[in-house]
Amino acid sequence: MNETYSRINELPCAQATGPLTEGCIVLEGGSFRGLYTGGVLDTLMQHEINLSCTIGVSAGSMNGFNYTSGQIGRASRFNLRYRFNKAYVGRGAKKNNKGVIGFDIVFDDDKNDMEPFNKEVFDDPNRRFVAVVTNCDTGNAEYMEKGSCSDIFQAIRASASMPILSKPVEIDKKPYLDGGCAVAMGLEWALKEGYDKIVVVRTRDRSYRKSPVKGFEAFLQKLFYKRRYPDFYRVWSRAPYRYNILCDKIDQLEQEGRIFVIAPSEEVTVSRLEKDIEKLGDLYMLGKRDTEDNMDKLKEYLTKEEA
């Protein structure tokens, strides 16, 4: 199997320019389906669309912190370059980070050969960044924001730590896992914060809805969490139901013109831990194409005055 994406040299590598636009970008998770999000975000930055607030769930938080730092191409080049590095996905990740993803290699510039993370831009107080996590004790979603939470990078780890495959991440002596277990996307948070301009980036096409958890997956949920974290188990087991309600609300708000949605124009067949590097790279390119195709409408939405 080919381990290097054939078009990886086409991925951009630059620092975003242009002013901040007041608004919030809401990023769905989906593990390696987040390559679509990477294509979207890179294209936005290339068009100098830098929204002032980013909220991400799971893979959305992993993409989002690079958008907040304004580094075009960094997140997706990392995924396409390190997909088969065992320190990132594999035995090394499991050994060092107690989960399926090796966060050490992501956050430590000395452990990868990417361009250094632009902490100066990321730390700009005018740029808000929120990682959604799920509290294992309560089952509730918590919204951890840089500048106010104790460790935003620990929050990103928690947000992207898939249950069953990962041990809970401790923050302030409390256990947390993937934010998507409680909240699929941070849309409600963005609405409650009062943002007039909200861009939602999906990693599934608009028609996609989830089926109830059953069979072996339901058995594993019960086996791992019903006794130790009963509230987490109760919330996570009903995640598909909440997901479908949220998707219906997104469709409604999009039709009303209150939010702008960028979603795959084709059915996404990439799995959460996809190994076909060409499929992953092509999903990134789809994100770029879809964003370019919607650019004029997006700019109109962002500049339109509210009634």
Q: Would you list the domain boundaries of the chain?
A: 18-299
228-232: average pLDDT: 98
Contact assessment for residue 270 and residue 175, using Cβ atoms and an 8 Å cutoff: no
76-87: average pLDDT: 89
Q: Of the candidates 45, 64, 54, which has an alpha carbon nearest to the alpha carbon of residue 23?
A: 54
The alpha carbon of 101 is separated from its chain's Cα centroid by a whole number of angstroms, namely: 14
Distance CA 145, CA 138 (A): 19
Among 52, 58, 61, 161, the one annotated catalytic: 58
- Token readout for 209 is 């809805």
What was the pLDDT predicted at 305? 78
Residue 124's contacts (CB-CB under 8 Å, 6 or more residues apart) are: none
Q: Can you say whether the dihedral through the CA atoms of 56, 61, 64, 65 is positive or negative?
A: positive
What was the pLDDT predicted at 104? 84
Q: Can you say whether the dihedral through the CA atoms of 31, 37, 39, 41 is positive or negative?
A: negative
19-37: average pLDDT: 97
| DSSP H stretches of helix in 88-139 | 91-97, 103-107, 119-122
Helix (H) or strand (E) holding 54: strand 50-57
Architecture of domain 18-299: 3-Layer(aba) Sandwich (3.40)
First to last CA, the chain: 54
Among 178, 237, 282, 290, the one annotated catalytic: 178
What was the pLDDT predicted at 100? 76
SS3 at position 261: strand
Residues 81-116 as b or e (16 or more Cβ within 10 Å = b): bbbebebbbeeebbeebebbbbbbbbeeeeebebee
Name the percent of the chain lying above pLDDT 70: 96
The alpha carbon of 218 is separated from its chain's Cα centroid by a whole number of angstroms, namely: 24
Task: Give residue 92's pLDDT band: very low, low, confident or very high (50, 70, 90).
Answer: low
What does DSSP say about strands 128-135 and 141-145: parallel, antiparallel, or unpaired? antiparallel
> What's the whole-model pTM score?
0.95
Name which of 15-24, 85-94, 174-183, 216-225 the model is least confident about: 85-94
In order of 89, 101, 124, 220, 234, the CA distances from 31 in angstroms are 11, 10, 27, 19, 23
What was the pLDDT predicted at 96? 64
293 counts as catalytic: no
58 counts as catalytic: yes
